[in-house]
Amino acid sequence: MNANSETASPAIDAASDDALAPPASTAMRTGRTPWLIAAAMAVLLPLTLWQAAHWAEKAALQAVRDEGIKNLILYISNLESELEKYEYLPLILAEEKDIIQLLQHPRDDAHRAIANSALEKINAFAEASATYVMASDGTTLASSNWNTDKSFVGKNFKFRPYFQTAMRGKAGHYFALGTTSNKPGYYLSHPIHLEEGIFGVIVVKVSMERLERTWAQGPTQVIVTDANDVVFISSQEDWRFRTLRPLPPDEAEKIKATRQYHDAPLLPLPIRVKEELGGGDRVVTIAGIGEGPGRQPRSTDYLMQTTNVANITWNFHALSRVSEVAAAVYSAMAAAGLVFLIAFLGVLYLIQRRLRFRDRLAYQQQVADTLKTARDELEVRVSDRTADLHASNVHLRREIGERERTEKTLRQTQDELVQAGKLAVLGEITTGINHELNQPLGAIRSYADNARTYLDRDRAGEARENLVTISELTERMGATIARLKGFARKGTGDAEPVIIVRAVTNALDLLAARFRNDGIEVAADLPGDPLMVMGGSVRLEQVFVNLLSNAVDAMKDSARRVLSVRLEEALETLTVFVEDTGTGIAEDDAGRIFDPFFTTKDVGKGLGLGLSITYGIVKDFGGDITAANRPGGGAVFAVTLRRAEAAAEDRP
Ligand code: ADP
């Protein structure tokens, strides 16, 4: 039982402590979680940024590529339509009367003037760069720019491939830097046939300047390269007559010999491929050119897309700026970082919430467990206690049974003792009674003898008087015998109202003979009222017989032998005092006189039961008995009993 309660209380204490402290698991996790989160962030953030950058770059580049291709196609068609516009002009001019007449009369100034003026007009109308007629030896006979200081008239362009092609009877197309004008242009040539054969060549030089200017305004730079990778059309002027690759010296020499690009140095364009994207597309860096000495040329990244122009051996290159790509990458990274941060904070919040939820669950579980443990403990303790209680109940019941049996035996024994005590007193009483009966008996005999004598003398009156006296005496004797019988009777049963004075008087009467024999003066001060107490008449009689008898014994050796009996009334009780002038009670004996078998009398004289029986009877009736010594010598016994009226009121 004890061990149980000791094990139970720490469990409950622990629970109440835990109510204040957070669950241990939280403390453990809170130590580890920040590191995990930091590690996750360290891995995930760069990954996310990298992925975002990758996607953004891919998407942006794709957009640039799409745009570039679109522009490229547009520019090619621009060029083609520009060239087509002039395609038939040489053919038509080859049929021109003024030109043919000039060829027929090459030295005739009038024809030359007519032709010059016709070419000038046509050239202006067609918005060509120059239009001119060459004789079969390559000398220019007439030209639209006859009137300028850069006039072609008289100049020989025999070395030009467009002349040679035309002289072979075919239309010629050629791009070159003008040797006279030093201006680039596209040359379209056509042979001029007379009956005898090819007499000359008509040439239309078309400037690309307008086209280039238009292109320069577009978002995409355009360059056109020839078979030798020389840039001859370019939206960016710096790049013109640069090469996409360094030309080997022999190749450079060969080009120089054709004078196609006149005296242009044909330096390589500072271009570097950064990344091949597949499909001929690549990212290139082109350094700035001619930005002045001491200044670091600024390079720009371009997406370079190349395509062939179908009928010519030219390559078209679209160069789109990729700075937007970088910007797109940066903004994508920033957006991704932001999204990541928001997502991360969200995840963090959810984790935190989950952890807190789990903690709460764990805590609730812990509380429930503790409660359950406490409840189990309590149940065990209660059932233990119940078992104990049951056991002690059984034990108690057994004890009660035993007590009841003992009490019954005791009562029996007590009854027997009372009877024994009574019989002992009876012995003493009998001596007195003997005298009590013998004395009237003797008197009766005398009165009877006297009556007979009176009858013999015929004195009937006197005889009758004697007989009346005899009758009275027998009556007295009968009463004495009845009292003795009553005393010897076994008194049992519950307390009932008894007239106390009657019990005292009966006891005095029973012992009257003894008082007389021992010369004891009896001073009874008793009221005439029938005051009632709770008791039994026989047993109360015994109480007073015992006390009176003891008083007589105590005064055996006293010179003055006075026995006084008086009654005191209280509200709820009545007390009878029995006082004597005897030996009194020795100090040592005072505490023992009510003990059974305590006696100071000689062997055979006292059993030591009188007072113990008296005590038992008085207590049985709810009363009390005390003993004391009188100041003037002798003892006083006080018997206090409850008044019947008070007891009746007490009863519910
Ligand atoms: P017993 O009379 O047989 O001795 P009791 O129980 O009546 O037994 O009395 C016990 C003892 O109490 C007596 O032996 C006596 O010593 C003492 N005692 C009783 N009554 C008186 C009395 N009135 N005066 C002095 N002593 C008394």
Query: 245 and 264, same structural domain?
Result: yes
Is the pLDDT reported for residue 19 higher than 70? no
pLDDT digit string (tens) for 150-181?
A: 899 999 988 888 999 999 988 888 888 888 87
Distance from residue 613's CA to the centre of ligand 1 (Å):
12
Q: Does residue 529 sit in the same domain as residue 635? A: yes
CA distance linking residue 44 with residue 336, whole number of Å? 11
Nearest atom within ligand 1 for CA of residue 584: 25
Distance from residue 563's CA to the centre of ligand 1 (Å): 15
- Hey, whose CA ends up nearest to atom 23 of ligand 1? 551
Same domain, 496 and 645: yes
Q: How far is the CA of 524 from the centre of ligand 1 (A)?
A: 21
Taking alpha carbons only, the member of 250, 251, 232, 249 closest to residue 240 is: 232
Instruction: Name the DSSP letter for residue 236.
Output: S
Q: Write down the pLDDT at residue 20.
A: 42
Q: What is the pLDDT of residue 207?
A: 87
User: Residue 128 phi/psi, 5° resolution?
Assistant: -90, 170
Structure confidence at residue 539 as a pLDDT band (50, 70, 90)? confident
Answer yes or no: do 187 and 264 share one domain: no
Residue 9: its pLDDT value, please? 43
Q: 532 and 644 share a domain? A: yes
pLDDT of residue 3: 41
Provide the pLDDT for residue 27: 44
**pLDDT given for residue 30 in this prediction:** 54
* Of 145, 93, 75, 79, residue with least CA distance to 117: 145
137 & 125 share domain: yes
Does the pLDDT of residue 481 top 70, yes or no?
yes
- Kindly list the distances between the CA atom of residue 94 and the CA atoms of 88, 145, 163, 187, 206, in Å, as whole numbers in the listed order: 10, 18, 14, 15, 17
Q: Model confidence over 624-639: pLDDT tens digits?
A: 999 999 998 999 999 9
Residue 333 lies inside a defined structural domain of this protein: no
Clarify whether residues 468 and 576 are in a common domain: no
Domain boundary among 442, 464, 489: 489
To which residue do tokens 């997406």 refer?
A: 303
Ligand 1 mutation pick, 579, 583, 603, 611, max ligand atoms within 8 A of CB: 611
Average pLDDT score over residue span 319-341: 84
CA-nearest residue, atom 10 of ligand 1: 599
Region 551-575: mean pLDDT is: 95
pLDDT tops 50 at residue 195: yes
Q: What is the mean pLDDT of residues 527-549?
A: 91
> Any long-range contacts for 1-9 (C-beta under 8 Å, 24+ apart)?
1/381, 1/384, 1/385, 1/388, 4/377, 4/380, 4/381, 4/384, 5/381, 7/377, 8/374, 8/377, 8/378, 8/381
Percent of the chain with pLDDT over 90: 32
- Are residues 506 and 609 both part of a single domain? yes
* pLDDT interval class at 432 (50, 70, 90): low
Read off the pLDDT of residues 98-146 as tens digits, 9 standing for 90 and up: 899 898 888 889 999 999 999 999 999 988 989 999 998 999 999 999 9
Q: What is the pLDDT of residue 491?
A: 67
User: Looking at ligand 1, which residue's alpha carbon is closest to its atom 20?
Assistant: 550
Last residue of a domain, one of 187, 207, 227: 207
What is the predicted pLDDT for the residue at 1? 41
Question: Quick check: 335 pLDDT over 60?
Answer: yes
Q: Identify whether residues 219 and 233 lie together within a single domain.
A: yes
CATH of the domain at 243: 3.30.450.20
Which of 426, 589, 599, 615 to mutate for ligand 1's pocket (most ligand atoms within 8 Å of CB)? 599
Do the domain assignments include residue 36? Answer: no
Q: Is residue 416 part of a domain?
A: no
CA-599 nearest atom, ligand 1: 14
Whether residue 445 lies inside any domain: the answer is: yes
Centre of ligand 1 to C-alpha 611, Å, is: 7
From CA 482, how far away is CA 573, in angstroms rounded? 30
The H or E element containing residue 569 is strand 562-569
Assigned domain for 58 exists: no
Atom number, ligand 1, closest to the C-alpha of residue 634: 24
Residue nearest to atom 21 of ligand 1 (CA): 550
What pLDDT, on the 0 to 100 scale, is given for residue 17?
A: 44
Banded model confidence at residue 14, pLDDT cuts 50, 70, 90: very low
Q: Tell me the HSE value of 637 on the side-chain side, using a 13 A CA sphere.
A: 26
Range of the domain at 504: 492-649
Q: Domain for residue 22, yes or no?
A: no
Residue 562 in this model has a pLDDT that exceeds 90: yes
Residues 279 and 158 reside in one and the same domain:
no
pLDDT digits (tens, 9 = 90+) for 63-76: 888 888 888 888 88
Domain final position from 183, 207, 231: 207
User: Per mean pLDDT, which of 28-42, 138-152, 267-281, 473-487 is the most reliable?
Assistant: 138-152
Counting from 1 in the atom list of ligand 1, the atom nearest the Cα of 601 is: 14
Q: How far is the CA of 78 from the centre of ligand 1 (A)?
A: 160
Cα angle vertex 413, ends 408, 418, to 5°?
A: 125
The residue whose CB lies within 8 Å of the most ligand 1 atoms, and thus the one to mutate among 417, 425, 593, is 593
Threshold 0.75, pTM exceeds:
no
Q: What percent of the chain has pLDDT over 70?
A: 89
- Report pLDDT for 428: 64
Cα 261 off chain centre by: 86
The CA 549 to ligand 1 mean position distance, Å, reads 9
232 belongs to a structural domain: yes
Average pLDDT over residues 568-585: 96
Structural domain contains residue 397: no
Tokens of 386: 């119940």
pLDDT in tens, 586-606: 999 999 999 878 899 887 777
Instruction: Please state, in angstroms and rounded to a whole number, the distance separating the CA atoms of residues 96 and 174.
Output: 22
Average pLDDT, the chain: 84
Atom of ligand 1 minimally distant from the CA of 605: 3
Measured CA to CA, the distance from residue 484 to residue 507 in angstroms comes to: 10
- φ/ψ (deg, to 5) at 627: -130, 145
**Which residue type sits at 593?**
I
Q: What would the pLDDT profile of 266-324 be if each residue is shown by its tens digit? A: 888 889 888 888 888 888 998 887 655 555 567 888 889 988 875 667 888 988 888 77
Count of domains for the chain:
4
Asked if pLDDT for residue 229 goes beyond 50, the answer is yes
Q: Compute the distance from residue 644 Cα to the ligand 1 centre, in Å.
A: 30
The reply to whether 457 and 500 lie within a common domain is no
Nearest atom in ligand 1 to 550's CA: 20
What residues flank ligand 1, with Cβ below 6 Å? 546, 550-551, 554, 580, 582-585, 589, 593, 598-601, 606-612, 635
Q: What is the CATH number of the domain that holds 572?
A: 3.30.565.10
**Of the segments 147-151, 367-371, 572-576, 607-611, which one has the largest average pLDDT value?**
572-576
Question: Do 452 and 512 fall within a single domain?
Answer: no
Q: Angle at CA 423, nearest 5°, toward 629 and 619? A: 50
